[in-house]
Amino acid sequence: MKVFADEEELLLSRKPHSVAQPADPFHFAYFVYFILGAGFLIPWNAYLTAVDYFTYLYPSIPIDRIFSIVNMSCFLISLIIIITLFHNSSASLRINTGLVLFILSLLITPMVDWVFVKGRQGVYFGYDITVGAVFISSVANSLVQGGIIGSSGEMPEIYMQAVCSGTGASGVLISILRIITKSIYPQDADGLRKSAKLYFAVSIIVMITCIFCYNIADRIPIVRHYKEIKKEVVKMETKEKGFITLSAWRSTLWEILCRIKWFGFGIFMIYMVTFSIFPGYITEDVHSDYLKDWYPIILITAYNVFDLIGKVLPAVYPIDNENVAVGASVGRLLFFPLYLGCIHVPGFFRSEIPVTFLTCLLGLTNGYLTTVLLTLAPKSVPIQHAETAGISTVLFLGFGLVSGSIVSWLWII
């Protein structure tokens, strides 16, 4: 027998509660979820944007690609462990633990530089510790991202859109910092070192803000309202079916995965395509005689700005049709031949304008389709399983990140 065999249970679990939904004065809950969405990607964006400093320190290593594989692989493994073994653990505990680990990982790199590396090239002991810090950050990301997306999936669609918009804003913030530091600091060892320290300092401040925001979220009436709905449904389910054993949970998890498989496939395709191109191709494989070392910075900023625009658009122009969203995600495979043309086709196609246009389109479609699919997936299951559906969708995202990170190496073969 299926765990939730038909649409009737889904509709009953999603129908309005007997108590009217509380208002969200001044959109405070939206703002909190926006900040939390920005928070869990800020550390990775900090490492990504400081890659020029790490490249200076360790010139013989393809830093950005190594960081990507370590980050995405550990993120994926951690998510699998959370879903299979710690599904009953407190979301609050997971998220707070992850935020603390974020702060730890962001402190390690500047401390290692201050104590051991001191801006010197070739101190590979510092590289090993930095990779370890990326590992800690990826574990933290699985705890925080899975928890935040899972909890926002239990609420109205606008709060998932807030989280996604926050993730886009984090990239824009770091890109702005990168432009500022490149403008005010000399592009020598000392300037790159100061820039990197600024990225990590700002990231730590954002993480502390996230801890404060998350721990006041439960006091917001609309957040408490949906948590109470979930508690009531879970209580009724427990009374009807009894305590859920590990075997029963595996059956439930399988049913959830079957319900969201096409949403997950779409998410997988989005991030496989995006991360096979961004950031490796953009930072290493295209060049501009006119813009010189500003070229990758401009491209990364363009991607981040349009990714944010894409993540805001579903609030105005949503897609409710799963087939359209998944089909568009598969259609993004066209970016491969188009970007290949920017490397191998002579003339205008290799110039800055086509590459910049494609990068903007890459960011726009990434942001828009990610938000649409992440919003639709948790609503396809009963509310008591919405958090698991959200985390499971992030698992597909993780597979896409790992696959994209591996495929990105094909650009240099």
CB 377 within 8 A of CB 265: no
CA separation for the pair 115, 232 (Å, rounded)? 53
What is the pLDDT at residue 211?
95
Q: Identify the helix (H) or strand (E) that includes residue 194.
A: helix 189-217
Q: Please report, as a single letter, which amino acid is at residue 256.
A: I
Main-chain phi, psi angles of 211, to 5 degrees: -60, -45
Is 285 in contact with 149 (CB distance < 8 Å)? no
State both tokens at 208: 């502390």
Least confident of 258-262, 314-318, 367-371, 406-410: 406-410
Q: What average pLDDT does the chain have?
A: 85
Residue 1 Cα to chain centre, angstroms: 35
Backbone phi and psi for residue 40, each to the nearest 5 degrees, phi listed first: -75, -10
Alpha-carbon Rg for the chain, nearest whole angstrom, is 22
What's the pLDDT at 412?
A: 57
pLDDT higher than threshold 50 for residue 18: no
pLDDT of residue 91: 83
Whether the bond into 59 is cis, omega within 30 of 0: no
**Rounded CA separation 341/350 (Å):** 7
Q: What is the mean pLDDT of residues 330-342?
A: 90
The pTM for the full model equals: 0.85
**What is the model's pLDDT at position 382?**
85
d(CA 175, CA 186): 17
Angle, helices 189-217 vs 157-184, to 10°: value is 160
* Mean pLDDT, range 98-122, rounded to an integer: 89
Distance CA 193, CA 335 (A): 35
Q: What is the pLDDT of residues 184-218, one digit of tens each?
A: 988 788 888 888 889 899 999 999 999 999 998 87
Q: What is the pLDDT of residues 27-76, one digit of tens each?
A: 889 999 999 999 988 998 888 778 878 888 888 888 877 887 888 888 88
Which residue in this structure is represented by tokens 């009963």? 382
Predicted local confidence at residue 54, as pLDDT: 87
pLDDT at 55: 85
**Overall average pLDDT of the 145-152 stretch:** 89
Provide CATH code, domain 27-412: 1.20.1250.20
**Of 135 and 282, the one with more pLDDT:** 135
Angle at 70 between CA 261 and CA 103, to 5 degrees: 100
